[in-house]
Amino acid sequence: MNAPTLSRRSFIAASLAGGATLTFEAQLAFAASPMLPEPVTLNAFIRVMADNSVVIGAKNPEIGQGVKVMLPMLIAEELDISWEQVRIEQTDADQAKYGPQVAGGSTATPMNWLPMRQAGAAARAMLVAAAARQWGVDAATLSTEAGRVLDKAGGRSATYAALARAAAAETAPDLAKVPLKDPAAFRIIGQSKKGVDVPKIVSGQPLFGIDTRLPGMVHAALVKCPAIGGTLAKVDDAAARAVPGVIAVVPISSGQCPAGKMDALAVVANSWWTAHKAREKLSVEWDTAAQDGFSTEGYARAAADLLPKAPAATIFKAGDADAALAGAAKVITADYSYPFLAHATLEPQNCTALWHADGKLEFWAPTQNPGNGRKDVAAMLGIAPEAMTIHMTRIGGGFGRRLMNDYMVLAAQVAKALPGKPVKLLFDRTDDLRNDYYRPAGWHRFTAGLDAQGQVVAFKDHFITFGADGKAIRAAELSSTEYPAPVLPNVHMGQSFLATNLTTGWLRAPSSNALAFVFQSFMDELAEAAGTDLPELMRRTLGPARELPTERQGLVFHTGRARAVIDAVTKLAGWTGKPSTTPGKANESKGRGFGFYFSHRGYFAEVADVTVADGAVKVDKVWIAGDIGSQIINPINAEHQSQGAAIEGLAQALVLQPIVQEQGRVTAENFGEFPLLRMDGKPGEIALEWVKSDFPPTGLGEPALPPVIPAVANAIYRATGKRLRSLPLNLG
């Protein structure tokens, strides 16, 4: 995804329109002092207050990734104010005003690194221009510092607050030409800044979508077809409507069934508990004939039948893999797999919606992608996208689940049926687990050939995935440039398709979280067959430093950056390359494993130490080396993101259980069937080292996750001699 730019025209428009979104807290703060001057809006992101503090709008959804601090840091740096002057407010969703607003794909940094800095620099230029005009001097002779414009030659200065009114009348500069700071002069970027919401979170103050409270609000509980894609055939709701406190039973569509059909009901009451209990009294018949045949066991049987056959389609082909295998000194074959997974966000899906008398719709939504939510609701209700206002709440876990906006679509329909009443729709845990957009399962049969010198001369992968009409469904794709395909002479990567009724979607580090496991684990097998270790095999196959194209336009894979993080983490961990098992205490064995992956523009290599005792795996320590470019914008948050990603990767490797489907229905009810990683499952230590490179900074929400999964799998093999080729890693 290419980074967006702010045009001068859009900057001016934002300046004129930007006050409303960023003023509510400011108005409250100054309501008791009406004699103070009014705050001044310089652009959509910046509002200068009378006390010379500056309100900065954070435009992207905050999901725990720290973007609510990171983006304002970029603006504040170029505006040249001290961090103590900054007050941060979450903006509403308005892509026309703020540009793309999404939490996904680790895109916040690459998309906003320049635009947010340009917004701050342009406002600073306007303040300097206003001072130069008042003092009758050349703007080039003036400087700024900590929210003041300085005329050192004239021995005078003025606060931004004093200049703001005049600055707002200045012509906005060309953003493409506005001067930006030399990184050597950064005072905010590169310094650790704590999360702005942390005090409210730890003290239990309302921030999240689930906390929304509005006057006259009613509550909706969901009853959805148990087989995704099925439809409502018949309902008797008399008993539910007779429950005291129940207001209505509303048929609705999740958007997952044919147009014109309904696949859900919302029971609306004066409390969620009343609605929750009343839904038990509904008598519902569903049409699920087309879904009943899908099951986890059925998928596994079909995949086992397809793996030995030729792929139905080719993903990538180079040279002649079959001929190279025929002449290889060694041929290694292995089958790998991974299951469907749910997101299991701690805050279940929810949304509050209000249909106004004028036909406009207002949302309070914990959405990662409000723009797509706006589109989805517009399509379902047949209303104009601009007829909606979306207030973005903080999100209590998403991991990609809230990129899908079914909860907004559902809530909107209920709100339209009850105009004038704010309606909060809330999933319970079973609703959430059974109506997810799941990480898709997959099966791989790898075959590779080595020559007499241990070089990889042939590589084949038959990938069984889910798709229709010869195309993989969402989040089930395999790139033609998946490593090591681009660096080997003879490659054939093919795929075959299974059908499913399950809705699929992106789980943190989508595709990468599964593909890193299967590819890096199999390459560990190749390294052993070649008489070396995986870091050294990676160095051999990477070759000289160069850029290799990927499927994503404008994105390249740099072999030199990959090698640099491999070298860094092996040095950091004291990697010796010895494959032997290390004895521990009685009934214990210890092992060390390695993994590398290029994900979401980030290069990460990781080493894991594990102890295996009585069949249980304990991860003792993880070492991480990462290259995300030339700048670490907020070091404390970058450290937390990397550690958190590794811990989540461990959950996927060791704890998260497969989502099981029977007769088209997901069986999980709660965390008993889908347990999460607990505090005692985290490593004793996670060591981190950054490898700086001369490239623009990139995102960090995801790339540290994938390598830890193969690192742990490979460590278990070193500890036990048993190669685990399916997730979760289970020695039982």
In tens, the pLDDT along 465-502 reads: 999 999 999 999 999 999 999 999 999 999 999 999 99
List all residues 6 or more positions away from 408 whose beta carbon is below 8 Å from its beta carbon. 351, 353, 363, 365, 367, 373, 376, 377
Written out in words, the top-level CATH class of the domain with range 209-289+349-426 is alpha beta
335, containing H or E segment? strand 330-338
- Beta strands (DSSP E) in 84-199 are 86-90, 143-145, 148-151, 156-159
The CA-atom distances, in angstroms, between 572 and each of 276, 623, 645, 647, 719 are: 53, 7, 19, 19, 21
Query: To which residue do tokens 């704010």 refer?
Result: 422
Q: Name which of 406-415, 426-435, 543-552 the model is least confident about.
A: 543-552
- For 531, the token pair is 């008489």
What pLDDT shows up at residue 579?
A: 52
pLDDT score for 33: 35
Q: Which two tokens stand for residue 678?
A: 């607990």
Q: Is CATH 3.40.920.10 correct for 297-340+438-548+556-720?
A: no
Q: What is the pLDDT of residues 263-313, one digit of tens each?
A: 999 999 999 999 999 999 999 999 999 999 999 999 999 999 999 999 999
6, 115 Cβ separation under 8 angstroms: yes
Confidence of residue 32 (pLDDT cuts 50, 70, 90): very low
Q: Phi-psi bin for 413: left (phi > 0), alpha (psi -120 to 50), beta?
A: alpha
Q: Say if residue 31 is exposed, middle or buried (CB neighbours under 10 Å; 0-12, 13-18, 19+).
A: exposed
Average pLDDT of the chain is: 94
Q: Does domain 8-200 have CATH number 3.30.365.10?
A: yes
* Average pLDDT score over residue span 568-588: 79
Q: Which of 191, 158, 180, 194 is nearest to 68 (CA)?
A: 194
At residue 408, the pLDDT reads 98
DSSP lists the bridge partners of residue 312 as: none
Mean pLDDT confidence for 435-443? 98
What are 151-185's pLDDT values in tens digits?
999 999 999 999 999 999 999 999 999 999 999 99
Answer yes or no: is pLDDT of 8 > 70.
Answer: no
Which burial class, exposed, middle or buried, applies to 555 when counting CB atoms under 10 A from its CB (0-12, 13-18, 19+)? middle
Query: Mapping DSSP to helix (H, G, I), strand (E, B) and coil, where does residue 118 land?
Result: helix
The rounded distance, in Å, linking the Cα atoms of 273 and 482 is 48
CA contacts within 13 A on the Cβ side of 220: 32
The 3-state DSSP class for residue 377 equals helix
| CA–CA gap between residue 417 and residue 382 (Å, rounded) | 14
The pLDDT > 70 percentage for the chain reads 94
**What is the Cα–Cα distance from 345 to 360, expressed in whole angstroms?**
30
* CB-count exposure of residue 232 (10 Å: 0-12, 13-18, 19+): buried
Residues 6+ apart with CB under 8 A from 419: 355, 356, 357
Predicted confidence (pLDDT) at residue 138 exceeds the cutoff of 70: yes
Q: How far apart are CA 146 and CA 52, in angstroms?
A: 10
Provide CATH 3.30.365.10 ranges for the chain: 8-200, 209-289+349-426, 297-340+438-548+556-720
Alpha-carbon distance values, 198 to 188, 190, 194, 204, 575 (Å):
19, 20, 8, 10, 37
CA distance to 16, 246, 495, per residue, from 322 (Å): 65, 67, 17
Amino acid letter, 17: A
Confidence class for position 587, pLDDT limits 50, 70, 90: confident
Place of tokens 């983006």: 71
Question: How do residues 680-693 score in pLDDT, each as one tens digit?
Answer: 999 999 999 999 99
